[in-house]
Amino acid sequence: MAEESIAEPMDKSQTWTSALMASPGPKEKKDYLVLYAKAFCMGIADLIPGVSGGTIAFITGIYEGLLDAVGSVNKQSVAAILKFDFKTALSIIHVRFLAPLVFGMLSAIFLLARLMHYLITDHPIPTWAAFFGLIAASIIVIFRQLENPKQASNIISMVVGAIFAWVMVSLIPVDTPTDSWFIYLCGIIGISAMILPGLSGSFLLLILGKYEFITGAVKAPFAEGNFPILLTFVAGSLTGVAGFSRILNWFLKHYHSQTMAFLTGILIGSMKKVWPWKETLESKVVRGKVKILREANIMPETFDGQVALAIALCIVGFIAVLWMESRVGNKSKA
């Protein structure tokens, strides 16, 4: 695919259609719908505090395609745009992949934001249980796909990834500076977390002490001092998505097995965050809403209808992933 991203001036006779088809992406209507559906699920995941859309991209098999697509917005494509050579830019940027991906995520966010907020607020245990089952089964599916999973380097990578994620989801939010350099850094870290499966960008912003600060600026962008804050944060986010995606892509191309093992470890470590039954140890009110700062995983004290429903949803989610992998997994690999 790298060869397709070389910014060579296109033949003047090249049509817009051939330029569009030159870069990777779905070609059939069915493939567009499948990618849209996966992106829709990513959007749903991004609505859940502590769950990353990158997790869904990873377990649905579009993670590497996502990194390639983001990486296609590079120096060559930007240079082509600045020269008004839009056909060349179109042949480099993975538009056919990015368009249904972005549309699917935005559709989920706009259509289901209220529903997911309702489920996670009023029915948190069954909702988290469903995600726990989905991710648990996905870990098994991905582990089976690893090359030589028992190889020492893969085991070490997986353990390191699990420890990294476990520590990250266990951190307690802290007070931090409001200087531009730190807001820029928060943008880099926040978007990088969204790319990594198992880590939530909003959760890391809470850890960095800037969740309230950034969301406040988003809700009132034209209030005094807020617009420069948003510009700085967006600049950091663009830097993060452009730079971190390339770093991950490089590791996937040169150390594919170890990187996949590391990412699998991140999913394993992040399971602590999606455990359904929790006890709040510390919280604070952020813009009128209670935000959990520290919590502990517990076992349910009694077996009631809610616990039965949670277990049932966990099992359904677990079986659904294994069933889908057995039915369509081989087709997606082809």
Per-residue pLDDT tens digits of the chain, which is 334 residues long: 444 444 455 555 568 888 888 888 888 889 999 999 999 988 887 777 666 788 788 878 888 888 888 888 888 888 888 888 888 888 888 999 999 999 998 898 788 877 877 887 788 899 889 889 888 888 888 788 788 888 899 999 999 999 998 988 887 777 778 899 999 999 998 888 777 776 777 777 877 778 778 877 877 788 888 899 999 998 998 888 878 888 888 888 889 889 889 988 988 988 888 899 988 887 777 666 676 777 889 999 888 999 999 999 999 989 987 887 776 554 444 4
pLDDT tens by residue, 121-147: 788 899 889 889 888 888 888 788 788
| Residues 19/10, Cβ–Cβ less than 8 Å | yes
Spans of all domains in the chain = 12-119, 123-334
Residues near 223 by beta carbon (within 8 Å), at least 6 away in sequence? 217
Please report the sign of the dihedral spanned by the C-alpha atoms of residue 115, residue 69, residue 77, residue 32.
negative
State the virtual CA torsion across 195, 198, 203, 209 in degrees, nearest 10: -70
C-alpha of 92 from chain center = 23
| Residues 87/10, Cβ–Cβ less than 8 Å | yes
Residues near 115 by beta carbon (within 8 Å), at least 6 away in sequence? none
Paired residues of 289 in beta bridges = 286
- Rounded CA gap, 68 and 73, in Å? 9
pLDDT tens by residue, 230-272: 999 989 988 888 788 888 888 888 898 898 899 889 889 888 8
DSSP E strand stretches across the chain? 278-286, 289-297
